[in-house]
Amino acid sequence: MKRIYYFVALLITLQGSIVYAQQDAQFSQYMFNSMYYSPGFTGIDGLTKATFIHRTQWLSYNPSLPANRTSPTYPANYAETGGAPQTNILTVQALTPLLNKSVGIGVNVLQDVYGPLRTVQLQLSASYILKMKSGNLGIGFRAGLFNQAVRNLADYRVINTEDQIYKDLVSGGGNVASQTKPDINVGLAYRTNKYYVGASFAHLLQSSFSYGLNQSISKVANHMYFTGGYNLNLGSMIVLTPSALVQTDFKQLSYLVGAIATYNDKFWFGINVRESFSKKDIATGGKTLRNDDIVFLVGVNLLKNKQNNNALKIGYAFDFVTSGANAKTRTSHEVLLSYIIVPPWDVLKPKIRTPRYRHDEN
């Protein structure tokens, strides 16, 4: 979920003020990467898989040029930075043989670039899976590093160029202010053959970033996620899966709701609706900011592994903005690749025949 005016996120207007980091990265194909939203999903489906998603949001977006390039705030050699937000994420997870296959492990690597900000997360996930009568309950924990960088400091469009925080950042040496902090997330998940639900609480530490200055400039807000889906068999060849995702940082709320139809366990297509809200913003006349998207999804399952699972999944999502398009372009694009492997501990040992126990039948 992106802030509607993401360039405003780090504009420094008053000395001593705190600017909060934007929302976590958003994905339209969230249903294929549940571990990102809750560590409780780590290994809960019993599969060892790697999932990669690349997202280009608001394709071809370019920030508007300053009206007066000769002003002190916008020099003549002003260089435009930013453009369309770009997000990449790689998740790897497995159900290990530990404690009778009750421990899942995973890793998340994420890079999110939006305007002059760049976020990099490297996190390890673990879950304890309780096998229940109808399904599995995953209790998850994720910890790692959260890096936030402010790039191209000299190119900022600050309202007040004499603001002391801005001057300290620019004069701090180099053109990038970067800092790394610890990050912790917890979550629950429950999965059966028919449905799944999950919830998590992210960024428990609410780490603050000072970039070497003597005061906090940026802070990672707490986030909450809720997600779920249900499989409906429509005959022998089609499965319809309604799903939903709700996420909030307690200042903004976004939800996606829709469904995917899968044919013959191979091809799928679907549609989702995304709507985002943020608290009233005085700068916009006290009106609640809204953002609405329609998301179209298509994909295919390819190959089979030794467990008879579809090993390779290829997906594509196309987002079309239906409102709030005055600050961005209308289309976003997302590509997904997911691959399932058979771990060594799940490979069946070959049968060894011996004449001692073999009897020929007449």
> What 8-state DSSP symbol labels residue 71?
S
How far CA 5 is from CA of 118, 123, 326, 327, in Å, comes to 16, 28, 10, 7
Whole-angstrom Cα distance, residue 78 to residue 69? 7
Q: Is residue 154 part of a domain?
A: yes
Indicate the pTM of the whole model: 0.80
Which amino acid is residue 221, in one-letter code? A
Whole-angstrom Cα distance, residue 118 to residue 346? 39
Q: Is residue 125 part of a domain?
A: yes
Q: Is residue 181 part of a domain?
A: yes
Question: Which of 80-84, 128-132, 161-165, 311-315 shows the lowest per-residue confidence on average (mean pLDDT)?
Answer: 80-84
Confidence of residue 127 (pLDDT cuts 50, 70, 90): very high
Whole-angstrom Cα distance, residue 133 to residue 136? 8
* Domain of residue 85, residue span: 6-343
Q: Is residue 354 part of a domain?
A: no
Q: How many domains does the chain have?
A: 1
Whole-angstrom Cα distance, residue 111 to residue 87? 6
Q: Is residue 361 part of a domain?
A: no
Q: Is residue 318 part of a domain?
A: yes
Which amino acid is residue 94, in one-letter code? A
**281-290 mean pLDDT:** 52
Tell me if residue 273 falls in helix, strand or coil.
strand
Whole-angstrom Cα distance, residue 341 to residue 156? 46
Plot region of 116 (φ>0 → left; ψ -120 to 50 → alpha; else → beta): alpha
Q: Is residue 132 part of a domain?
A: yes
Q: Is the pLDDT of residue 25 over 60?
A: yes
**76-91 mean pLDDT:** 69
- CATH code where residue 251 lies: 2.40.160.40
Confidence of residue 240 (pLDDT cuts 50, 70, 90): very high
Question: Which of 28-32, 154-158, 169-173, 353-357 shows the lowest per-residue confidence on average (mean pLDDT)?
Answer: 353-357
Q: Is residue 254 part of a domain?
A: yes
